[in-house]
């Protein structure tokens, strides 16, 4: 009898937490309505790319925000582009892949990915190891 009562209380508590999370997400999306735009610069990041994109998507879904990711790929020789093509169909994320050359400077790269009105843009150069820490849920 006691174990059944524990399970009932646990289910009730989890349902209450779920309702509060969904309400918070709904009310936050109504308030802000803003879109986050992550600009990622990559070069041979096949081992980390899927995790980075999933972390960004999960973070945006939890916060109830719309997500736009632009990946500037610097002539990757591995499966980075193949991974990004598979991830383009992920729900809740608008993913754009742009190829760049090593001779382009940072000003030209930023000009290619200018944010639209009401968009919060975050520029992350993954070629530098410490920059990956700017992605939510990624610890280096």
pLDDT band for position 16 (cuts 50, 70, 90): very high
Mean pLDDT over each residue of the chain, to the nearest integer = 82
Beta bridge partners of 96: 70
CA distance 12 to 106: 52
Question: 113-116: long-range contacts (C-beta < 8 A, 24 or more apart)?
Answer: 113/37, 113/39, 113/70, 113/72, 115/37, 116/35, 116/37
pLDDT tens for residues 30-68? 555 567 889 998 888 888 888 888 888 888 888 777 788
Q: Domain residue spans in the chain?
A: 1-31, 33-134
pLDDT tens for residues 19-28? 988 887 777 6
Please tell me the CATH superfamily of domain 33-134, with its number.
Answer: Spore Coat Polysaccharide Biosynthesis Protein SpsA; Chain A (3.90.550.10)
In the predicted model, is pLDDT for residue 69 greater than 70? yes
């Amino acid at each position: 009898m006691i174990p059944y009562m524990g399970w009932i209380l646990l289910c009730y508590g989890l349902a209450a937490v779920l309702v509060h999370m969904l309400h918070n997400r709904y009310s936050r999306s109504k308030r802000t309505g803003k879109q986050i735009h992550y600009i990622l610069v990559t070069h041979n990041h096949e081992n980390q790319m899927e995790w980075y994109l999933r972390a960004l998507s999960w973070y945006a879904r939890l916060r109830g925000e719309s997500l736009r990711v632009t990946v500037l790929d610097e002539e990757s020789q591995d499966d980075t582009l193949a991974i990004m093509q598979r991830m383009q169909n992920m729900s809740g994320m608008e993913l754009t892949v742009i190829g760049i050359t090593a001779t382009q400077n940072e000003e030209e790269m930023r000009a290619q990915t200018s944010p639209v009105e009401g968009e919060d843009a975050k520029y992350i150069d993954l070629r530098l190891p410490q920059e990956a820490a700017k992605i939510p849920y990624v610890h280096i």
